[in-house]
Structure 1
Amino acid sequence: MLSHEPVLAEQAKTWKFLELWVDPVLFPPKILMLIGDQDGTCRIFSPGANYKLVVAHSNYEAAREWLLEDEYERVQGQLLAEEVL
């Protein structure tokens, strides 16, 4: 499997944080990544689908509501872009 570390380091210039969200009802659980950009927009990607963009929102609250509506739960913690550089 290819490492996405160089891609993450490059994208760290535009994103502020990354969160993992999980659908605990499914087995194996479905995982989504929420990436919050420096400008406040948020994008949700699916690692299980080759990091395909699932949906984009204009702010964190809208992205969070979308995930909660689909019964996803946030994994504790955030990865900050400044920690990747």
Structure 2
Amino acid sequence: MQTTNTTSSPAPDLVKNNWDFTEVWIDPMLSPPYILLLLCDSKQNCQIYDPKQGDKVVFSSNNYEAAKLWLLEDEYEPVEGRLLAKELF
């Protein structure tokens, strides 16, 4: 699994504490599947967190498409649907 950060990343806690939506992505080739969480804020600053590594940020980007491409390159697949922050609070 590739774990690199981009240089144009927002502050690590900015997205985590102010997220607009989150997606769950899995690597289905592993058993059990490996899970990563994609969180994006309202300005499309996105970070990918690894729950297995204590929610370590493994990738940051200033747009959703770059984060999505990073996951797809590593052969992750999205779990259907998004969780919106406004639905929870």
Question: Smaller-chain TM-score range?
Answer: 0.7 to 0.9
One-letter amino acid of the counterpart of residue 34, structure 1: L
Distance 2:83 2:56 in 1: 19
Structure 1 segment 1-85 matched on structure 2, within 5 A: 11=17, 14-85=18-89
- Percent identity over paired residues: 50
TM-score calculated relative to the size of structure 2: 0.79
Length, aligned pairs only: 74
Dislocated runs of 4+, deviation >3 Å: none
Q: For structure 1, which runs of at least 5 residues remain unmatched after alignment?
A: 1-9
One-letter amino acid of the counterpart of residue 80, structure 2: Q
TM-score calculated relative to the size of structure 1: 0.82
Task: Please provide the CA RMSD for this pair.
Answer: 1.2
Q: For structure 2, which runs of at least 5 residues remain unmatched after alignment?
A: 1-15
Q: Which has the higher strand share?
A: 1
